Each structure stands twice: as C-alpha cells, then as structure tokens.
Chains A and B, each alone.
Chain A
Amino acid sequence: MKLMEYQGKDLFRRVGIPTPRGVYATTADEVRTYVAEHPGSWVLKSQVMMGGRGKAGGIKFADDAQQGETLARELIGKVLKSVQNPDGEEVKSLLVEEKVDIASEAYVSIAIDRAAKKPVVLVTAQGGMDVEEVAEHDPDAIKKYWIDPAEGYSPYIGRQLAFDAKLPEGYRKAFPAVLGALYELFMDYGANLVEINPLVLTNDGRVIASDAKVELDDNGLYKHPDVAQWNKQSPADADQAAAVAIGLGMSNYARFEDEPGLPPKTVGTIANGAGLGMGTMDAVKNAGGGAANFLDIGGGAQAELVKNSYKLVTSDDRVKAMFINIFGGITRGDQVAKGIVEALSGDDVRKVPLVVRLTGTNAKEGLAILAEAGFVPVETMDEGAARAVELAKGAQ
C-alpha cells in the first residue's frame, strides 16, 4: 500500500520525525481560513501518488489568504500529467505547509534488501533530486548500510552514515535520531520503503522532512487498523479494490493495459496459484495473443469465487475469450467446474468463448460436470492457450 505524502507525514509525526507546520485540506475554503489565521508564506502541495508533480504544476506558493484560495481552486480537481504518468491523476486534496528556508537538502531511505534479508539504509548529501539520478552520475555519493534486525538500530549507525555521506555539519546532531525514528517506522509499520527526499536543513538550523514517501507491506496492515482504513477509504489501486471486493487477496488480480507493438490484450485468464497464473499469461503470449489480466483464485477456491472471478475478468470489454487453467492441488476440480457452470447460467454475466483446462484433484468429476453443461475442456496449458487466442481472434 502506497501512502500519499500527508499520510506518510502523519506516520513521521507518530515516531517523532519533524515535518513542516501545516494543514491537510480538501477545499479551497479550508485553505483560505488556515492561511488567514496563520499569516506567512505557504506552499500548496497537490496530494497525488504520481511522481513528477512539481514539474506537472502541482505545487504553488501563496503569501496571503486570497491567493491561497485562488490557487487551491485551481489545483483541486485539476488533472496532473507527467512523463511517468501520461494518463494523469486528479488532485483531490492539498497539503498546505510552511515555506522553509533551505540551507541544504539530503536524502535518506530504508528499504528491504531481499537478497541480504536485511533493511538497507541509503543516504546522500545530494537530496532534492531522484536518487536514481545521483546513482547514475555520482554513485560514490550514496552511502549504504545494512541494519541487522537482530541487533536493531543504534545511533552510531546514523553518526557513521552522516560522516561517510559528508552531510553538512548542521545535520549531525539531529540525523541519528531522525534515522532511528525512520527505522522504528520501517519495522513497526512494516514498510517496504520509507524515503525522505529532501531531508531539509533550514537556515535557522532545523532538520525537517520536507517530503514523505512510504510504501507499506499489505501483509502487515492488520497491526495498524487505523492505517489499513486509509486504504479502504481511497484504494490507491483499482485492481486491488476489485480483487478485495470479491474476496480475493489484494494482489491476486491485475489488469494489463494494451502495449504498442504487442498483440491486443483480448484473452481473459484465471488460474489457481500465482505461479500458474503467471505461466498462463505467458502461455497466451507464446500462442501469439495477449492476456488481458492476471487472476489467481488461490488455493481451495469455491464455486462462488470462481463465478465472481469470471465476472470480474469479463467486465473488461476488451476480453473476447477466456482461458481457465486449473491444476488441482488443494483446489478441487469439481468446485471449479461448478463455479464455471453457475457463472455462465446467469443472465448477469457477459458470456465469451471459454476454454477450460482442468487437471489434478477431482479433475474427473469436474470434467464430467463441464461435459454435461456442453463445454469441451482441453488437455494441456499450451493447447488451451492456443485455442483461447484463436477464439479471441475469431470473435473480433
């Protein structure tokens, strides 16, 4: 689960990382009221997930209440577009923050290093730009440190990194505490990534997290129900929302956009297990077609879930044929077959040509159910993919 900046900063404050003064606002009136009550220079930051919002015009400066209101009206509802996000993203809210006097900008992040099985800290004195850019033109400027989860964090790690990365002297006192708090957030809230870019040193000597990028591990959200709620209020990802709505795991469904130079994505796919799901979409590609989606019905799927999965995949108008690929381990073939027959007996679904491959546990019973309903199942994954691609082309 990716967090918006204002949500990330909420977590920062919980662990004691200093953030700029300000307010979160969803209307221009709120912005006017706040700025009127707190005279000064303010930054209006569009709250969006996409990168490159500054270049896209999503950040504005206001010196009084009237200007704040006008700019807020301009921003809220605007669709920001950037190189990273050509489709654009609508601005629904703003973060109004004090304009800080910047003396220096640093970068600090913690991520999971899968190979090392440890959290890895990245620090550079060159903040305020993409860390990938720094990695390209000046890789030695980025210092790394792998924290041993058995020992945890101790301030010497922050001191060492501050010296090694040559952070300006003004950072030295505050940095070990900021990194310690960031590690606490990383471990306690289960983050895949926490990033402060820039970590600002102000002219009056304060160290402040000017931006916040936080991505949480979905599996750890249950530990913080209030944070998990943020996702329900505004799911960042339509695919995740659709999956959860029918009782699938958050990452068990993904829809794929058409890509230039590749065959149109017209074949819907459903499989049991993530590996087989990926194998199934690969098989469609190998057969000269394009999988419109990935869908893993999981282990032990029941008929109702199969039916709802079918409905979800066919709700995509591009889908002209469907390939259901089941290798029964825990999942029982007869349950899947029942789900398919049920799904296609209702009037509330869009029926497309269907190819079913069913093998493994209770496959025989499942095949009998399908045969009785008039379907002709196929023997192998390759054969099924080829047949589905053919049917999708015929239906166009």
Chain B
Amino acid sequence: MAIFLDKNSKVIVQGITGREGAFHTQRMLAYGTNIVGGVTPGKGGTTIESGQPVFNTVKDAVDATGATHSIIFVPPFAGADALWEAHAAGITLAVCITEGIPAHDMLRVVATTDGMRIIGGNCPGIISPGKSLVGIMPGHIFKEGNVGMISRSGTLTYEIVDGLTRAGFGQSTCVGIGGDPIIGTTFVDCLRAFASDPETQALVVAGEIGGSDEEDAAAFIKEHIPDKPVVGFIGGRSAPKGKRLGHAGAIISGNTGTPESKVKAFGEAGVPVADRPSDIPRLLAERLATATA
C-alpha cells in the first residue's frame, strides 16, 4: 500500500504537449506510471508519440479514460483555471507542478474545490516507489520500502531520499507538498493519510523556515501518532529574518516561521531534528530501534 497514489491510479497530464509536460510524461511512463492520456486544447483527437491520446478538455479526457489523477504543467496565469477544470471534471487528486501561481488565485481555488486533493503548487509531485510517479522527481534515486516522506522542497527531498536509499531505507510514498504560501495539501493532511497506512512504518518530515506547517505537524504527531517513529529536518536554519529564499513561502517574519519554534515543536512531539540531511538515516535507525525495543 501507499498513500494518495498506487500502481493502478489512472493519470492524465494537463499540458501534455508543452515542453515540460511532454518531457516529464515520457519520464513518468518510463517509471511505470499509468498515464492514460493528456489535455492540450486544440490538439484533441491526436496522440503523442508513445501512443497516449490527447483531448481538448479535462472532461473529455476523464469521460474517455476514467482518469482520477491529473498532473498539471501550465503557465502560472493558467494554474487556477487548470485546477478548476480538473475539479469540474471529477478529478480526485491533482498535482500542480506550476511555480508562480498568485497566492490569491490559490486562496480562491482551495476554497472552492471540495472533494479534490491538490498537491502543490510549486511542488515536485508525488511518488510511490516501484508503483507510480506523478511528478518531476528523478525516479531512480527512490526505492520501494516502508518510510513515508513529506517535504516542502524538491531538490532537498532528492538529497534526503538519496541518503535514505543508500542506507537501505526504502520509501512507501514521498510527497513534495510545495514551497508556496498557499498550498493544497499540508504536512498534517499527509500525516493523517500516512497514519492509516500499515505499510508506512516510519516517517521523515522535511520542513523549512516560514509559516507554521511544521508546528502543526508536530502537534498532530504528538496527539495522533506518538508511537510512529518520525525524524524531522528544517531547511534554512541559518537564514536571517525577513529574507525570502527562493520559495515564496520561505521567509521568517516577526516571530513566526523561525527555525527555533519549529525545532522546539518537533522536540516536544518526541521528534528528533537532524542538523544535516546526512544525519537522517542514523536518527531514523535509532528511532526504529527504540520503537521496536
């Protein structure tokens, strides 16, 4: 088992003939993702080279293929529209890769898309190793296993996963929730799903400065899954206040979003926080040892 995504999930690609959409469609197919088609308005009725049909609208694609999952590669100005279109067509999980969607568009979208889980925007997507990849992650660094991973970042996730895989820790599902201030799925949403996944025996939560998502995650762990081994990481701990670092959401303003507050919250939930990504496998091994002892 895994969360949000498994081998049989039927996936469509919104923006399948665009530069990035086309490139990543091939990478996802190579990984084994069940991509049943894609959408590019005006190119309905054609197929891409690898044989998947292209539709004019998400509704046409869903009607013809029964897709439940969508991955979105559209420019920022079209992001909200693409998410609303997916929702209207009955998609239940949409991964939004697009970076730069205005926060106020996302405020409107999350308030009006009940019934559809949104991952991102500005995220690397989601992968259930050995089963399916709906994202832009380099599939070869992942390995099937029992560690669930949630992260706000892309490349830092790769760094951590690479270390886990090398240390022999495979992953059940990895979710890159995205670096924007307003995102569809938070750490807590993921933790709730992982909590009821028997295959996931331990978790890595890789947060970063800004916002209070990590504090909320710590509170959830303390209350609902105190016995599940979890290791935390906070990126940007050496950042000065007030500087926005790459991710629109990564900024320390006033006394919210500070690394101290996040480390403290994790500590109170019994979650060790790694100083460096390379410490994570060791901390995970220690937590697993005490949990089974």
* A contact set with B: CB distance below 8 Å: 112, 114-115, 117-119, 132, 148-150, 186-187, 190-192, 217-220, 222-223, 239, 249, 251-252, 254, 256-257, 259, 271-279, 281-286, 291, 294, 296, 299, 327-330, 359-361, 380-382
Contacts and interface: CB of A to CB of B under 8 A. Distances in A.
B47 interface: no
B159 A278 contact: no
Interface in B273-288: 275-278
B64 to A, nearest CB: 30
Nearest to B100: A219
B270 interface: no
B246 A278 contact: yes
Nearest to A285: B238
Contacts of B206: 275
A327 B250 contact: no
Contacts, number: 173
B186 to A, nearest CB: 8
Given A190-B104, A192-B103, A259-B240, A275 B213 contact: no
A167 B247 CA distance: 39
Q: Which of B108, B112, B179, B276 has the most CB of A within 10 A?
A: B276
Contacts of B154: 273, 275-276, 299, 329
Nearest to A186: B104
Interface string B102-119: 111101101110000000
Contacts of A296: 245-246
B268 to A, nearest CB: 18
A345 B101 CA distance: 38
Contacts of B157: 275
B102 A275 contact: no
B110 A278 contact: no
Given A273-B155, A283-B276, A251 B248 contact: yes
A12 B254 CA distance: 26
Q: Which of A150, A273, A278 has the most CB of B within 10 A?
A: A278
Contacts of B196: none
Contact of B181 (A114, A150, A294): A114
Contact of A329 (B137, B209, B246): B137
A148 B111 contact: yes
Contacts of A251: 244-248
Given A115-B216, A117-B182, A187-B104, A278 B239 contact: yes
B245 A294 contact: yes
A294 B204 CA distance: 25
Contacts of A275: 151-157, 179, 206, 208, 235, 246-247
B249 interface: yes
B278 A381 contact: yes
Contact of B246 (A277, A380, A381): A277
Contacts of B103: 112, 190, 192, 217, 219-220
A302 to B, nearest CB: 14
B159 A381 contact: yes
